[in-house]
Structure 1
Amino acid sequence: MMLEIENLSCGYGDKPVVKDVSFSVRAGEIMCLLGPNGAGKTTLFKTLLSFLKPLGGTVKINGQSTAGWSRQVLARAVGYVPQAHSAPFPFSVIDVVTMGRTAHLGLFAAPNSKDKSIADEALHSLQIDSLRNRIYTELSGGERQMVLIARALAQQPDILIMDEPTSNLDFGNQIRMLEQIRLLSNRGMTVVMTSHFPDHAFLCSDRAALLRRGLPFLAGSVKEVVTSGNLISAYGIDVEVAEFTAASGRKVKTCVPLMRTDNKSLKNVLNHGSP
């Protein structure tokens, strides 16, 4: 399923936070949305999810504008994984995941055996069956994130929007999360995710977008968007995109900040491979 954003402007009241945003993501693609705090990433997501009404432009799914869609209809097409979630009650993991079936239930209807089976399949697809009967509030941050993805999968959407899915995760769990996201795209899901780490775009994304305060929105291939010049203009720090060959022979790119206290040392590493 294809997500298309055309000349979208969004904000609060009549005050725009983000202007003239255009991009598209096809089925099976991952787009990584980058940008500094306050640039409008969350505002853009709220608009895509119809929590905020666009100030201009359109959001289309498979060529059809989502304007006027009910929350239930939109939820059947688009799943959402927040960056943080605190359950008000000590629900079991399977109960939290089954809540994802709400978009397919009638008013006051309870989940049936089919809904519960779909929830179980969502857990199984992420290989977290062992968490099924655990209490959600007792899980680690990484485990909670996986459960939230399972809940979104239980909606059976074609598009998944993920707000900083690696937030508060250690390095190992960040990589495991990115691997799971890539597996979802390999199954044909369209994924739009935000991240504070430009390297994540190199690790798992097909496309990238960059929000920059006071500057035009950028979207395109990772190679086109995640460049030293674009990152400098967005974050206001000196940074270089370096490429090296891993032991496996694979070419790998990474972003190296050039801290003012040791620019010379870091630049020597980039240019010569050693301080």
Structure 2
Amino acid sequence: MELVIRDGACGYGNKNIIRDISISIKSGEILCILGPNGVGKTTLFKTILGFLKLQSGEILLDNENIRTWSKKRLAKAISYVPQEHTPPFPFSVFDVVLMGRTAHLDMFASPSKKDKEIAEQAIDTLKISYLKNSIYTEISGGERQMVLIARSLAQQANIMVMDEPTSNLDFGNQIRVLQQINNLANKGFGVIMTSHFPDHAFLCSTKAVLMQKNNKFIVGNVDDVITEENLKSAYGINVKIISIKNENGEIIKSVVPLLN
């Protein structure tokens, strides 16, 4: 599956937040969106998910314009992983993951045996079976993030939209979540994620979008987008990009801020 935004304009009412943006992502790719607060990352996500109407341009899924799609049909194609979610009731982890099957159920229908099996598979894929019967609100932040990704996986949408999936996680859990995102891409899912850490783009992304104020954005391959000059322009700070080799001899880049 391929999602394409062509000359898109996003915003609220008559107010443009983003204009003339064009991006694409295919199954198996990871697109990382970076940029300072207030440049429109959340607005872009809400538009992709159908919460906001595209002001101009078009969003295509496999060359079909999604403008007239129902919310249910869109949910079968695109899933959403929020950066934080606190349900109003103390659901079990299994029940939270099972909620991912909602888009596939008729109104007032209960989850079938197959739906429960798909939820089980999602939990197994994320390696969180030990949490299955735990109360979602009582587990750690890193565990909750894995549960939300499992819920998205149970939705069986080809494109996953993740809003800062490593937000508020400690260093170890950040890397574990990124590893799972890489695994999902290897399984053929397309992932669009936001992050405040350029290193995350180097670690797992195929493509990147660096958004700036005044409707400026750079779209392309990670190495072409995440440069010292571009990061200084976006964030107003000096950085140095260094390269190191991992255990497999692969070159890994990292961004080091230079304090005055």
Q: 2:206 is matched with which residue?
A: 206
Runs of 4+ in 1 over 2 A off after TM superposition: 244-250
Contact conserved, 2:211 with 2:217, CA < 8 A, in 1? yes
How has the CA–CA distance of structure 1 residues 182 and 247 changed in structure 2, closer, same or farther, with 3 Å as cutoff? closer
**Pairing of 1:171-190 with structure 2 (within 5 A):** 171-190=171-190
User: Per the alignment, in what secondary structure is the counterpart of residue 21 of structure 1?
Assistant: strand
**Pairing of 1:145-156 with structure 2 (within 5 A):** 145-156=145-156
Post-superposition CA distance 1:214-235 (Å, at most 9, x none)? 1532111001100011111111
Aligned partners of 1:78 and 1:202: how far apart in 2?
24
Q: 1:96 is matched with which residue?
A: 96
Identity among equivalent positions (%) equals 57
User: Rg: which structure is higher?
Assistant: 1
Contact conserved, 2:11 with 2:18, CA < 8 A, in 1? yes
How far residue 86 of structure 1 moved from its aligned partner, in angstroms, is 0.6
Contact conserved, 1:10 with 1:44, CA < 8 A, in 2? yes
How far residue 250 of structure 1 moved from its aligned partner, in angstroms, is 2.9
User: Per the alignment, in what secondary structure is the counterpart of residue 240 of structure 2?
Assistant: strand
Contact conserved, 2:19 with 2:215, CA < 8 A, in 1? no
Q: For this pair of structures, how many residues does the alignment match?
A: 260
Contact conserved, 2:39 with 2:215, CA < 8 A, in 1? no
Q: 1:272 is matched with which residue?
A: none
TM-score of the superposed pair, with normalisation by structure 1: 0.92
Aligned partners of 2:61 and 2:109: how far apart in 1?
28
- The letter of the residue matching 1:61 is L
Post-superposition CA distance 1:244-265 (Å, at most 9, x none)? 33465332211111111xxxxx
Aligned partners of 2:56 and 2:224: how far apart in 1?
26
Q: 1:129 is matched with which residue?
A: 129
Aligned partners of 2:33 and 2:53: how far apart in 1?
20
Q: 1:225 is matched with which residue?
A: 225
- The letter of the residue matching 2:229 is G
How far residue 90 of structure 1 moved from its aligned partner, in angstroms, is 0.2
Contact conserved, 2:17 with 2:215, CA < 8 A, in 1? no
Q: 1:26 is matched with which residue?
A: 26
User: Per the alignment, in what secondary structure is the counterpart of residue 172 of structure 2?
Assistant: helix
User: Per the alignment, in what secondary structure is the counterpart of residue 217 of structure 1?
Assistant: strand
Q: 2:14 is matched with which residue?
A: 14
User: Per the alignment, in what secondary structure is the counterpart of residue 177 of structure 2?
Assistant: helix
RMSD: 1.0
How far residue 238 of structure 1 moved from its aligned partner, in angstroms, is 1.0
User: Per the alignment, in what secondary structure is the counterpart of residue 212 of structure 2?
Assistant: coil
How far residue 241 of structure 1 moved from its aligned partner, in angstroms, is 1.5
User: Per the alignment, in what secondary structure is the counterpart of residue 73 of structure 2?
Assistant: helix
User: Per the alignment, in what secondary structure is the counterpart of residue 4 of structure 1?
Assistant: strand
Aligned partners of 1:25 and 1:76: how far apart in 2?
17
Q: 2:52 is matched with which residue?
A: 52
Q: 2:216 is matched with which residue?
A: 216
Aligned partners of 1:19 and 1:180: how far apart in 2?
32
User: Per the alignment, in what secondary structure is the counterpart of residue 28 of structure 1?
Assistant: coil
Deviates more, 1:196-205 or 1:241-250: 241-250
Aligned partners of 1:150 and 1:136: how far apart in 2?
13
Post-superposition CA distance 1:102-135 (Å, at most 9, x none)? 1000111111111111111110011111111000
Aligned partners of 1:256 and 1:113: how far apart in 2?
50
Aligned partners of 1:248 and 1:184: how far apart in 2?
21
